[in-house]
Structure 1
Amino acid sequence: MLKTRFTELVGIEYPIMCGGMFQVGRAELCAAVSEAGGLGTITSATQGDPENLRQEIRKVKELTDKPFAVNLSLFPSSRPLPNEEYIDVLIEEGVKIVETSGRSPKDLMQKLKSGGIIVIHKVANAKNAISAENAGVDAVSVVGFETGGHPGMNDIGSIVLTKLVTDAVSVPVLGGGGFSTGQSLVAAMALGAEGVVMGTRFMAVKESILHQNVKNWMINASEAETAIVQKSIGSGSRVALNEVAKEVLKLEERGTTFEELLPLITGKRAPKVYFDGEINAGIWSCGQVVGLINDVPTTKELIDRIVQEAVDSRNFINHAFETKHEASVSER
């Protein structure tokens, strides 16, 4: 067991969280992460309406009796999300952990807390982390420039951001963006984090709903085969560098409007990628960590591997310090 304040807070074995992912965050993957000792997450926006979310929650409970989270997206949306109704479902179904992402969850905190829910808020900088802590969240995750999906607009990497946020708040912090191995877990903890949140790496596991074509693309992709699109409209998103993403980048470089981009960036195109395996059917979230993915293990195999790598890395570091100390003593 790797015990931190975060594992104690949410009642899990290892400080590894699967972040909320649109279309990908479903019951099977969520339950597999939780069963393997991490914290799985289902994504409410994927479900479309409160009753579908209720059924997905019940499906998770059929697959595991371990803790899991539900993501509530607070990002601007062309179709307003019924988050108040989602919260009613969470409380009725006894869900105890929520991940919020997007704007501040301040307006929802009273309702969440009255339902006894632990709130983890995803941020992109230290200022937002402080605001989230002041709003009453129980933990924050900070995602750097490397992350798939929305990394914030300031192009700052995860190592710098993780240290800035752990210095700025007193609640447990998870590092996000570029974390996928035991070595990176140890690095995050060395910076003061008490765990990591991973998305892209969990897309390429056997329990992920993604089409095998997508997983194969990820295995073969390099760290350079992602790009941030939509910066011109103030909603930067890191995605796989496919033909649609290249077209979006061309339009943005030339100068474009939201209306011109919308047919290319609409989430309605994602199912053709994720479920039909048409890699170039639309834009889809993918982090730079894709360059480190070279297999499609089961979720348990992946988490067991990360934990073993973390233990080996810790032992290596301890040995290095002991050797340095012994050498220093012998020189005196």
Structure 2
Amino acid sequence: MVLKTKLTELVGIEHPIVQGGMQWVGVAELASAVSNAGGLGLLTALTQPTPEALRAEIRRCRTMTNKPFGVNLTFLPAMTPPPYDEYAQVIVDEGIKVVETAGNNPGKYIKKFKEAGIVVLHKCVSVRHALSAQKLGVDIISMDGFECAGHPGENDIGGLILLAKSFNTLKIPYIASGGFGDGVGLAGALAMGAAGINMGTRFMCTVESPIHQKIKESIVAADEHQTQLVFRPFRNTSRIFKNKVAIEVNKREQNPNVKFEDVKDLVSGARGRNVYTTGDPEYGVWTAGQVMGLINDIPTCQELVSRIVVDAETIITKRLNSMVVPKSRL
């Protein structure tokens, strides 16, 4: 059995599995490994310090795989915004075929990418936002449930509701994101009309992931209770690994007059990056999803993707088929 979906057809991949964009994680080693395994690997543009560094990383990734891979470009509030126009131009100039966009006001960039013939996959945390993205001309929606790592939005709507509503509302394909890490999830997502799944935390915990081995082991040791929501008072909610820093951030956020400056020293990007390089899970804030409750090992990307696909196929062809009773026997 081959799981052919609108996602696999649009982006030219073997399996309907996407590696989501992740700051400090989405580099050539991981993206190429996912693509070589038959999924869609994504480089994270803003992990690279400059647009020219992104160009070099794209070219480096091409030396590691001849399969399709894409680039994630996320637009988030910042005191000094990155040069998004320049990053977008590099993506176009380098002939990237798939872009994952996320964040605020992506309209002009979506238009630019579509004019260049690029397939645009846009991350949304509500059906309302997905409908807006559909009007902007994106090709695929990545519907992110409340379970996801990173930014789940402010509405706290879980994946089951978002996927079911997407099935009845959207006219373009959508994939499921947030809480996915095994064949059960893939089979369930397909049953709910999704064209595939997007996995972040699960791919963090693979051999080719560039983060420190001790952080991978922390993910394996953790469960679904080991995440925490921060930045809620600033309406920029983020789901992160529950550690001493996360607990202190929440403590400071209890002040009704809290300002971002009150937690800035704890949540700096430099501290978060050092978690991945030093292997100390308590050093700073780092994103992780509730899917940690389903992660029990550190496989290669090839082993992981193959296992997920085989398990999903078995569920679809055997377990679900065995539950269907012909009318003649009723």
TM-score range, shorter chain: over 0.9
> Of 301, 304, 324, which residue of structure 2 is paired with 1:302?
304
Paired residue for 2:123? 122
Amino acid at match of 1:6: L
Q: Which residue of 2 aligns with 1:267?
A: 269
| CA positional deviation for 1:266 | 1.8
User: What CA deviation, in whole Å up to 9, does each residue of 1:92-137 have, x standing for no partner?
Assistant: 2111110001014212223212222111100000000000000011
RMSD of Structure 2 on Structure 1 (CA):
1.2
The amino acid of 2:197's aligned partner reads: V
Q: Distance in 1 between matches of 2:232 and 2:126?
A: 17
The aligned runs of 1:214-229 (5 Å cut-off) are: 214-229=215-230
SS at match of 1:281: coil
How far has the Cα of 1:149 moved from its partner?
0.3
Would you say the 8 A contact 2:207–2:300 is kept in 1? yes
User: Contact 1:105–1:135 at 8 Å: present in 2 too?
Assistant: no
CA–CA distance in structure 1, aligned partners of residues 263 and 168 of structure 2: 39
**Bigger shift: residues 223-232 or 76-85:** 76-85
- CA distance in 1 between counterparts of 2:155 and 2:58 reads 35
User: Residue 282 in 1 paired to residue 298 in 2?
Assistant: no
Corresponding residue number in structure 1 for 2:74: 73
TM-score (norm 2): 0.97
**Percent identity among equivalent residues?**
45
**Runs of at least 5 residues in structure 2 that lack an aligned partner in the other structure:** none
Could you say which structure has the higher helix fraction?
1
CA–CA separation in structure 1 for the residues paired with 2:89 and 2:293: 40
Query: What is the correspondence of 1:1-332 to structure 2 with a 5 Å cutoff?
Result: 1-255=2-256, 256-322=258-324, 324-325=325-326, 329-331=328-330
Cα displacement string for residues 142-191 of structure 1 (whole angstroms, at most 9, x for unaligned residues): 11110000011111111111111232211110100001111111111111
| AA matched with 1:313 | I
Q: Normalising to structure 1: TM-score of the pair?
A: 0.96
Partners of 2:328 and 2:310 in 1: CA distance: 31
Q: Which amino acid is 2:163 matched to?
A: T
